[in-house]
């Protein structure tokens, strides 16, 4: 038998240097996350302006163009509005433009309660037939509130970069951003097979999405803005 002398043990010394939180984040981020800086009051106040009813097959874009601040646009419950619609910037009237289902409030969840796909039958549907948005904004569009509205793409759509697109992402001044936008108890979803990159793109200020439901916003390949 041969006796072997034990090998000397090596000690490993680790030096831990204090790091600022921002150095631990990915290089794409400059500062760590921060809590919201502004409280948005999403309390619903009915408008005092004109009520504009849009029946199934009606011209939704023309109604959006004609509406003034304070008006209420009532979309037929369950009706489908197929197209790529734009929220214009409004400079006349006061208050909010409300766009809502014609279903009575009793058919929708109470305020503060999340909508579910089970209520799709009482929601008007704004449907993009293409790779473009179902709803978007012009520069500086403001004070729109959706209540009980469904946003989606047609079953035949294979690719879409944003169902609801708020702002272009290429604004050059704060004044150009859309602002004061509320989506209240809305159902936003893609289809089962399409590359749907975004349910909503929020290049906007003072925007609230409350008690809403997102589904089938998935993509295996990415293209365009996201």
Total residue count of the chain as it appears in this document: 226
Return d(Cα 107, Cα 132) in angstroms, integer: 31
Query: Could you list the residue range(s) of the whole structural domain that residue 186 is in?
Result: 52-215
The pLDDT value recorded for residue 6 is 46
| Residue 32 falls inside a structural domain | no
| Residue 8 falls inside a structural domain | no
Residue by residue, DSSP assigns 190-226 as: --SSSEE--SEEE--EEEEEES-EEE----SS--S--
Continuous segment of H or E residues that includes residue 60? helix 60-66
Q: Is the full-model pTM beyond 0.85? A: no
- Greatest pairwise CA separation for the chain in angstroms: 104
> Could you tell me which of 197, 62, 87 has the C-alpha nearest to residue 149?
87
| Residue 35 falls inside a structural domain | no
Query: Coil, strand, or helix at residue 18?
Result: coil
Burial code (b: 16+ CB inside 10 Å, e: under 16) for 77-94 equals bbbebebbbebbebeebe
Q: pLDDT tens for the chain, 226 residues: list them.
A: 444 444 444 443 333 334 444 444 444 556 677 777 788 899 998 999 999 999 999 999 999 999 999 999 999 999 999 999 999 999 999 999 999 999 999 999 999 999 999 999 999 999 999 999 999 999 999 999 999 999 999 999 999 989 999 999 889 999 999 999 999 999 999 999 998 989 999 999 999 999 999 999 887 766 655 4
> What tokens does 48 get?
């005092």
Return d(Cα 51, Cα 71) in angstroms, integer: 6
Contact 123, 80 (CB under 8 A): no
The pLDDT value recorded for residue 19 is 43
| Residue 187 falls inside a structural domain | yes
Return d(Cα 176, Cα 173) in angstroms, integer: 6
Contact 20, 40 (CB under 8 A): no
| Residue 173 falls inside a structural domain | yes
| Residue 221 falls inside a structural domain | no
| Residue 208 falls inside a structural domain | yes
Beta bridge partners of 135: 85, 164
Q: What are phi and psi of 105, to 5 degrees?
A: -55, -30
The pLDDT value recorded for residue 2 is 43
| Residue 154 falls inside a structural domain | yes
The pLDDT value recorded for residue 87 is 98
Number of domains in the chain: 1
């Amino acid at each position: 038998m041969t006796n072997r002398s034990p090998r000397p043990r090596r000690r490993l010394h680790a030096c831990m240097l204090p790091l600022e939180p921002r150095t631990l984040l990915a290089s794409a981020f400059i500062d760590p996350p921060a809590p919201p800086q502004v409280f948005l009051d999403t309390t619903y106040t009915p408008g005092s302006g004109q009520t504009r009813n849009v029946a199934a097959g009606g011209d939704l874009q023309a109604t959006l163009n004609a509406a003034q601040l304070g008006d209420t646009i009532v979309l037929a419950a369950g009706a489908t509005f197929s197209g790529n619609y734009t929220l214009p910037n409004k400079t006349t009237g006061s208050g909010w433009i409300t766009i809502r289902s014609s279903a009575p409030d009793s058919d929708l969840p109470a305020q503060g309660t999340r909508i579910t796909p089970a209520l799709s039958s009482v929601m008007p549907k704004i449907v993009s037939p293409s790779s473009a948005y179902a709803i978007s904004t012009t520069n500086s569009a403001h004070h729109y509130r959706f209540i009980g509205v469904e946003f989606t793409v047609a079953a035949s759509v294979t690719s879409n970069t944003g169902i609801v697109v708020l702002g272009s992402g290429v604004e050059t001044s704060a004044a150009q951003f859309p602002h004061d936008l509320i989506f209240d108890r809305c159902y936003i979803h893609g289809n089962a097979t399409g590359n749907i990159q975004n349910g909503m793109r929020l290049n906007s200020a003072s925007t609230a999405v409350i008690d809403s439901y997102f589904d089938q916003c998935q993509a295996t390949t990415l293209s365009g803005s996201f």
